[in-house]
Amino acid sequence: AQTVTQSQPEMSVQEAETVTLSCTYDTSENNYYLFWYKQPPSRQMILVIRQEAYKQQNATENRFSVNFQKAAKSFSLKISDSQLGDTAMYFCAFMMRDSSYKLIFGSGTRLLVRP
């Protein structure tokens, strides 16, 4: 069974600085997707960034980028120029390309951006 591990329960960063959130996963499959979701206090789940496992190039979305290390099964999220609105829970998620395409989430990292 696939598992997703986020080893940092809480992180803190100064506004305008850069922070990296860690995520590792375990799978024997070769064809899958990885996601980072943001959950602000409103509890709405917001997709931040996605990565296809077959792509070697790391995904980037404005201030958000990932470091995808397939051999190491690592998928970290880097947030540059942190903003107060980035304060939220961040969840790493795994999706296998099978019959259901369900998401398997990690336990989350609570990020606080300090003014």
Partner 1 sequence: NAGVMQNPRHLVRRRGQEARLRCSPMKGHSHVYWYRQLPEEGLKFMVYLQKENIIDESGMPKERFSAEFPKEGPSILRIQQVVRGDSAAYFCASSPPNRQGNNEQFFGPGTRLTVL
Interface ranges with partner 1 (CB under 8 A): 4, 6, 33, 42-47, 50, 91, 95, 99-108
List b or e across 68-89, with b for residues whose CB sees 16 or more CB atoms inside 10 angstroms.
Answer: beeeebebbbbbeebeeebbbb
Cβ distance to partner 1 smaller for residue 8 or 80: 8
Cβ distance to partner 1 smaller for residue 2 or 20: 2
Q: Token pair for residue 89?
A: 């829970």
Smallest distance from partner 1 to CB 89, Å: 9
Smallest distance from partner 1 to CB 79, Å: 19
Cβ distance to partner 1 smaller for residue 19 or 37: 37
d(CA 50, CA 38): 12
Q: Token pair for residue 15?
A: 């506004």
